[in-house]
Structure formats: structure tokens, C-alpha cells
Amino acid sequence: MFKKIKSTLAQKLPLFQLRFDEYEIENDDRPFTATVFESRDASNVIAVTSSSEIIMVKQFRYGIEEYTLELPGGLVDEGETHMQAAIRELEEETGYTGTDWEFFTKIAQQPVFIDSYIHTFYCKNAKLEKIKKMDHGEHTEVVLISTTDLKKMLMEDSFIHPHAYSALAKFFLHLEFEY
Amino acid sequence: MFKKIKSTLAQKLPLFQLRFDEYEIENDDRPFTATVFESRDASNVIAVTSSSEIIMVKQFRYGIEEYTLELPGGLVDEGETHMQAAIRELEEETGYTGTDWEFFTKIAQQPVFIDSYIHTFYCKNAKLEKIKKMDHGEHTEVVLISTTDLKKMLMEDSFIHPHAYSALAKFFLHLEFEY
């Protein structure tokens, strides 16, 4: 029903490669030009300590000019798997490492105009072992929150990062079904 | 800790106004330039019929070149409140209207580099009353899903729209606490 007939690369922007895709659409007499921002996938992690606390990071976000509470995570580097990126980001942003990793879920970054996905991993028995190593412009504060408190916080409007929110909410929906 | 010292408007892109914000950061010797995509807020709605079905829309999304299952919604127009946009979008995308509306929650679109938010409204007793009216390039299929089935679907990886996901997951977390 949607047939891509032409794809044109436009400007290279910070964070993105802009692209215009032209579509023929069934039952629509005019072609439609879609704007797409090409970008790299990201990974984040629900890392749980042996005391059933989830490792969160508080971080200033330039888009909304506010601090958000998020899962540790970041962009997947070239040559890296999604899981390797999650392991690296957990260590860099929090100093925690863990031995037991599994894929949990993925979600689109913003399917309307961005082509990338965020993959979420689950890491049990996370331990504080290293020193944090931040990127330029990045300053995270590590916050450990018990699973009980975090579930309550998901009811509040202060929790505003959509990808951290979806992953954690799914985690709690699963816990509820499985236990 | 983060002090904005300069803000410069750059290109006007489709959907966005690009902006560069320069920051002085405490304990960081170099200023940091953040890329911000200015955009309009959006609204969506969890609309429930008298038979306890939630009104969803299946829609082709150009960013990921796939169909997604979403809440009805769209951009807030100039001069419109967030709730008016939700009422209008429900009617345009699905033909449903409802009389009983309330604000439910909001979430950032992508706080890292976008300045806007998505507001979610809750509408009880939605009824099919009008004919759908689509924007150019937009073709939605209305799908009614029982709350029981939708909660199960939130466990699956096929549900990939982050803002629809967060709003619906929060809705079910609330239901679980309140009833």
C-alpha cells in the first residue's frame, strides 16, 4: 500500500543524516514526501543489584532543559553489538558491572521520523567495580531505587523519559504476570 | 550546574527548527554545544468504548518503514489546547467522539534533543459518530482492542511506539493499583 519510489540524502546534521523518501500511496493521487532522520541505535539496561535495587541515572537533558531519571545507556558504537554497548554504557555511566546479561525488549526511538531503535537489556547481580567515565557534556548522578519504590514512581508525572519509561513499565508488567 | 550562555537558531527543517545552545558546565573546562530540535507538542488519547475496548490506530510510519499500533493523536495546532487537539485527532483519525475527557499524563518526546512533550488524555464512553478525515500521507486503520487483550499485547515486542507504550503501560499500572 505504501511504495517507496525515491530516497534522497539531504543535510548531515549533528546526531542525524537527513533523508527525504518519496512514496506512492494506494488510493492517494499525489506522492507523499516523508522526512526521515537516520541515526544510530542505542542500548540501555535494567541492572538490578543483589539488594533488588535498580540502577538509575539522573542526567541533565538539553532538549527539555531539565534533569531526567533514566536507565543507563547510550548510542551503539561502530563495530559494537547492542549488548556490548549496554555493558559499556552501564560501566561508563555508573561504574557498575554485571556478569549475567540478557536481551529484554526493544522499542522505536520515534517511529514517525527517526529510523532507529533502543534495545533494552536485563542484568542481574550488578556490582560497583569501576570509576565512571563520562562523555563531554555528560554528567550523570547514579541513583539506586528499590523495585518497590520505582514501581510507585512510574505512576508519577515526573518520570518523563519515554524509552526508560516503556522499558521499566514492561519490566513491571512482566514481573506481575510471572510471579 | 548547567548554565545556558548562548542560543542560536539554525536551519528550519521539515517538522523542526534546529537550534544550538551553548552551555557552561560546572567542573567542565570547555563549553558544550547542544543540538536542539524545536517542535510542537502533540496529544494522544486512551479512549475507551462502553464495551471496555480501547480505540487504537494501525498506521504506516515512515521513520521505521513499518506499521505501528498507536493511540489516536497528533500535533497540537496553533491556538488549540492540548485537550482540543486530542478531541480533534480522535475524531479525525477514528470517527469516534466522547463527552467525558480528562488529562491523564505527559511524557517528553525525546528529551535528549527534542523540546516537546506528548500529553495523554483519557476519554470514557467513546462512540462512533463521524467520518474519518485524514491528513495527506496519513492512512489509519481503526482497531478496537479489549483492555484484557491490550494488556497482554504490551508484553510483546511487536508493540514499538514509545509514547503509546508508555501511556498505555501507565494506564494499566494505575488500574492495577486502583482496583
**Tens-place pLDDT, residues A109-119:** 999 999 999 99
Q: State the nearest Cα–Cα gap between B67 and chain A, in angstroms.
A: 9
pLDDT (average), residues B58-87 = 97
pLDDT at residue B179 in the model: 45
pLDDT of B31 higher than 70: yes
pTM beyond 0.90, yes or no: yes
* Percentage with pLDDT > 70 across chain A: 98
pLDDT (average), residues B173-178 = 76
B160 to A108: CB separation less than 8 angstroms, yes or no:
yes
CA angle A171, A75, A44 (to 5 degrees): 15
d(CA B28, CA A138): 10
Does A60 contact chain B (CB < 8 Å)? yes
Could you tell me which residue, A89 or A133, shows the higher pLDDT? Answer: A89
A162 to B166: CB separation less than 8 angstroms, yes or no:
yes
* Residue B114 DSSP code: B
Q: A159 to chain B: nearest residue by CA?
A: B107
pLDDT at residue B177 in the model: 65
Torsion, CA B160, CA A37, CA A68, CA B163, rounded to 10: -30
pLDDT at residue B178 in the model: 59
pLDDT at residue B113 in the model: 95
Does A179 contact chain B (CB < 8 Å)? no
C-alpha cell at A97: 558491572
In chain A, alpha helices (H): 82-94, 147-153, 162-178
pLDDT of A131 higher than 90: no
Query: Which residues are bridge partners to A118 per DSSP?
Result: A42, A107
Q: Are strands A117-128 and A42-49 parallel, antiparallel or unpaired?
A: parallel
pLDDT (average), residues A113-130 = 94
pLDDT at residue A133 in the model: 74
B110 contacts in chain A (CB < 8 Å): 63, 109-110, 114, 162
pLDDT at residue A51 in the model: 93
C-alpha cell at B41: 507538542
Could you tell me which residue, A155 or B74, shows the higher pLDDT? Answer: B74
Residue A131 CB-density burial (10 A; 0-12 exposed, 13-18 middle, 19+ buried)? exposed
Could you tell me which residue, A91 or A176, shows the higher pLDDT? Answer: A91
Does B111 contact chain A (CB < 8 Å)? yes
pLDDT at residue B27 in the model: 83
B106 to A157: CB separation less than 8 angstroms, yes or no:
yes
Output the 3-class SS for A68-101: EEECCEEECCCCCCHHHHHHHHHHHHHCEECCEE
A11 to B15: CB separation less than 8 angstroms, yes or no:
no
Does B2 contact chain A (CB < 8 Å)? yes
Confidence band (pLDDT; 50, 70, 90) for A149?
A: very high
B108 to A64: CB separation less than 8 angstroms, yes or no:
yes
pLDDT at residue A179 in the model: 46
Give per-residue pLDDT as tens, A36-95: 999 999 999 999 999 999 999 999 999 999 999 999 999 999 999 999 999 999 999 999
Q: What is the mean pLDDT of chain A?
A: 92
Does B31 contact chain A (CB < 8 Å)? no
B21 contacts in chain A (CB < 8 Å): 62
A173 to B177: CB separation less than 8 angstroms, yes or no:
no
Helices B162-178/A162-178 angle, 10° precision: 40
Choosing among A11, A21, A61, which should be mutated to test the B contact, i.e. which has the most B CBs within 10 A?
A61
pLDDT at residue A178 in the model: 59
pLDDT (average), residues B67-80 = 96
d(CA A172, CA B55): 24
Q: Are B83 and B43 in contact (CB under 8 A)?
A: yes
**Residue B35: which of A15, A111, A161 has the nearest Cβ?**
A15
pLDDT at residue A175 in the model: 82
User: Residue B47, Cα to own-chain centre: how many angstroms?
Assistant: 14
Cβ contacts of B56 within 8 Å, gap of 6 or more:
B69, B70, B71, B72, B142, B143, B144, B145, B150, B164
Q: Which of A8-12, A172-176, B21-25, B83-87 has the lowest mean pLDDT?
A: A172-176
**Residue A110: which of B13, B110, B115 has the nearest Cβ?**
B110
Cβ contacts of B8 within 8 Å, gap of 6 or more:
B19, B20, B21, B22
B106 to A36: CB separation less than 8 angstroms, yes or no:
no
Q: Are A100 and A125 in contact (CB under 8 A)?
A: yes
* Percentage with pLDDT > 90 across chain B: 79
pLDDT (average), residues A145-165 = 91
| Sign of the four-CA dihedral A98, A99, A102, A103 | positive
Does B156 contact chain A (CB < 8 Å)? no
Is the ipTM reported for this complex over the cut 0.90? Answer: yes
